[in-house]
C-alpha cells in the first residue's frame, strides 16, 4: 500500500548528457582541425617555395654562392653520418642501460636515484648538452669540430629518451612470458634474449627511431659544437668536419635573397621526407608487433 513516488524519467538526464557529449566532441574536433590546418598551411608554404628546386641535381650539389647552383649534398651526407654514428653509440648503451634498470637492478636507493635522474635528463634543453659536448668532446678529448664530436653530443642528448622508451617497452612485456621461460629453467639472460627482447622489439625500435628523428632536427647542439655552415665536401670519416641539414637550412633561410629561401624550402622538404620515412618505419614496426602479440 505504499504510494510510489514517481521517479524522474531518465530521459531528461539523458538528453543533458547527450548535449554535453556533443559539445565535447565538437571541441575535440575543433582542436584537431586547428592543428591539422596549421600543419597544412606550413606544408603548403614550404612545398610552394621548395618544390621547384627539388631534383636530383639539388641532392648531388654542394652549396654555392649562387642560389641556382646550391645543393645539399654536404648537409645530407653530414646528417646521415652524424645520425648513423649517434645510433651506433646511443642504441647499444641505451638499450643495455634499460635492460639493467628494468630486468636486473634491485629496488634500492641508488637505482631509484639513477632512475629519477634519467627522467630529469630527458627534460634538459639541448643547448645544455651542446655545451657539455663542446667542453668534453671538442676540447677535452680533442675531437675538434668533427662528425664524432657531433655524434657523441647527440648521443648524450637522446640517451635518456632511448633508455626510457626501452624501459617502457620492456615493462609492457607480460610477466607471464617471463614466468613461462623461467619456469622451464631458463637463465635470466636466456629469458631476456629469447623472450623479452623479441617481444619488446617493436616498442624499442619505435623509441629509437623517434629519438633519432628528434636528433636529426636538432640544430643547437651542432651549431654550439661548431659544425660548419659552408662545406663543399662530404665527410670521409668520423674525424672530418661536417655540416648538417638543419644548419644548412638555417644558413640559407637567414640570407636576404628570395632565391635562397627557395633553396631552404627545398632542403626542408628533404628533411621532412627523411623524418617521414623514419616515422613510417616506426609505425610499421609497432603495427607488426601488435599483430604478433595478439
Partner 1 sequence: MIKLENMEFNGQQQAQTKTMAAAAVPTPDVAVRSQKREETVRAEAKDVNFFYGDFQALKNINIHVFDRRITALIGPSGCGKSTFLRTLNRMNDLIEGARVEGSITIDGQDVNAPGVDAADLRKRVGMVFQRPNPFPMSIFDNIAYGPRIHGEKNKKALGEIVERSLRQAALWDEVKDVQKRSALALSGGQQQRLCIARVLAVEPEVVLMDEPASALDPNSTYRIEELMTELKNDYTIVLVTHNMQQAARVSDYTGFFLRGEMKEFGATDKIFTTPEQKETEDYIRGRFG
The residue ranges that bind partner 1 (CB under 8 A) are: 106-107, 174, 176-187, 190, 194-195, 198-199, 292-294
Task: Using the minimum distance from each CB to partner 1, give the nearer residue, 83 or 285.
Answer: 285
Q: Are 242 and 154 in contact (CB under 8 A)?
A: no
Task: Using the minimum distance from each CB to partner 1, give the nearer residue, 62 or 201.
Answer: 201
Task: Using the minimum distance from each CB to partner 1, give the nearer residue, 181 or 248.
Answer: 181
Place of cell 665527410: 235
Task: Using the minimum distance from each CB to partner 1, give the nearer residue, 12 or 108.
Answer: 108
CB of 291 to partner 1, least distance (A): 10
Residue burial 21-58, b: 16+ Cβ < 10 Å; e: rest: eeeeeeeeeeeeeeeeeeeeeeeeebbebbeebbeeeb
Alpha-carbon span 255 to 264, nearest angstrom: 10
Task: Using the minimum distance from each CB to partner 1, give the nearer residue, 22 or 188.
Answer: 188
Alpha-carbon span 71 to 68, nearest angstrom: 9
CB of 202 to partner 1, least distance (A): 12
CB of 191 to partner 1, least distance (A): 9
CB of 173 to partner 1, least distance (A): 10
DSSP result, 172-219: TS-HHHHHHHHHTT--HHHHIIIIIHHHHHHHHHHHHHHHHHHHHH--
CB of 94 to partner 1, least distance (A): 24
Q: Are 267 and 250 in contact (CB under 8 A)?
A: no
Amino acid at each position: 500500500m505504499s504510494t510510489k513516488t514517481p521517479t524522474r524519467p531518465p530521459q531528461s538526464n539523458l538528453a543533458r548528457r547527450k548535449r554535453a557529449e556533443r559539445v565535447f566532441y565538437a571541441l575535440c574536433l575543433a582542436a584537431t582541425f586547428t592543428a591539422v590546418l596549421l600543419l597544412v598551411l606550413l606544408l603548403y608554404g614550404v612545398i610552394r617555395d621548395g618544390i621547384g628546386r627539388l631534383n636530383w641535381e639539388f641532392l648531388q650539389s654542394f652549396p654555392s654562392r649562387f642560389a641556382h647552383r646550391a645543393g645539399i649534398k654536404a648537409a645530407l651526407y653530414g646528417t646521415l653520418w652524424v645520425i648513423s654514428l649517434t645510433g651506433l653509440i646511443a642504441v647499444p648503451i641505451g638499450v643495455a642501460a634499460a635492460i639493467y634498470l628494468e630486468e636486473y637492478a634491485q629496488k634500492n636507493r641508488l637505482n631509484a636515484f639513477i632512475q629519477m635522474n634519467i627522467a630529469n635528463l630527458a627534460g634538459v634543453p639541448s643547448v645544455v648538452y651542446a655545451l657539455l659536448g663542446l667542453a668534453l668532446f671538442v676540447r677535452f678529448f680533442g675531437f675538434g669540430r668533427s662528425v664524432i664530436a657531433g655524434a657523441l653530443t647527440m648521443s648524450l642528448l637522446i640517451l635518456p629518451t632511448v633508455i626510457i622508451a626501452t624501459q617502457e617497452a620492456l615493462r609492457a612485456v607480460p610477466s607471464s612470458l617471463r614466468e613461462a621461460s623461467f619456469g622451464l629453467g631458463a637463465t635470466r639472460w636466456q629469458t631476456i634474449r629469447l623472450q623479452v627482447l623479441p617481444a619488446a622489439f617493436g616498442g624499442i625500435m619505435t623509441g629509437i627511431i623517434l629519438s633519432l628523428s628528434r636528433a636529426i632536427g636538432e640544430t643547437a647542439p651542432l651549431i654550439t659544437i661548431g659544425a660548419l655552415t659552408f662545406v663543399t665536401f662530404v665527410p670521409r670519416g668520423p674525424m672530418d668536419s661536417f655540416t648538417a641539414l638543419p644548419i644548412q637550412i638555417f644558413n640559407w633561410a637567414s640570407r636576404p635573397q628570395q632565391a635562397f629561401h627557395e633553396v631552404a624550402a627545398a632542403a626542408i622538404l628533404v628533411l621532412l621526407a627523411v623524418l617521414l620515412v623514419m616515422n613510417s618505419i616506426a609505425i610499421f614496426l609497432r603495427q607488426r608487433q601488435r599483430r604478433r602479440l595478439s
